[in-house]
Amino acid sequence: QDVLEKEKTIPPERAEEAKLKAKYPSLGQKPGGSDFLRKRLQKGQKYFDSGDYNMAKAKVKNKQLPSAGPDKNLVTGDHIPTPQDLPQRKSSLVTSKLAG
């Protein structure tokens, strides 16, 4: 009952903000700021360094090469890129289903 009363006086946007901050306490103070925008500008960026790759290959000659982690956008240095990580040339493109 008390919680309902409290929510009535707080604008919905602020209540939502409180919810978000409760879930992610480390969320930055400037949401629309640099970090967020720069991530937007970096869309499509992939990382592959042939030097890294060959050095890693030499180091782990006898072991299995670690494959890409779930996030393929990891900066090199933290994980070793493999040819499997690279974007594959897509197979023959088919006609749109809208034209079907």
Partner 1 sequence: FLGAGGGNDIQWCFSQVKGAVDDDVAEADIISTVEFNHSGELLATGDKGGRVVIFQQEQENKTQSHSRGEYNVYSTFQSHEPEFDYLKSLEIEEKINKIRWLPQKNAAQFLLSTNDKTIKLWKISERDKRPEGYNLKEEDGRYRDPTTVTTLRVPVFRPMDLMVEASPRRIFANAHTYHINSISINSDYETYLSADDLRINLWHLEITDRSFNIVDIKPANMEELTEVITAAEFHPNSCSTFVYSSSKGTIRLCDMRAAALCDRHSKLFEEPEDPSNRSFFSEIISSISDVKFSHSGRYMMTRDYLSVKIWDLNMENRPVETYQVHEYLRSKLCSLYENDCIFDKFECCWNGLDRQVEFSVIVMTGSYNNFFRMFDRNSKRDVTLEASRENNKPRTVLKPRKVCASGKRKKDEISVDSLDFNKKILHTAWHPKENIIAVATTNNLYIFQDKMN
Regarding 46 and contact with partner 1 (CB under 8 A), the answer is yes
Does residue 32 touch partner 1 according to CB under 8 A?
Answer: yes
In whole angstroms, the minimum distance from the beta carbon of 61 to partner 1 comes to 26
Question: By rule CB under 8 A, what string of x and - marks binding of each residue 81-100 to partner 1?
Answer: -----xx-xx--xxxxxxxx
Please give the structure tokens belonging to residue 48. 């592959």
- SS3 assignment, position 100: coil
Question: Residue 15, interface with partner 1 (CB under 8 A)?
Answer: yes
- Residues paired with residue 79 on neighbouring β-strands, in sequence order: 76
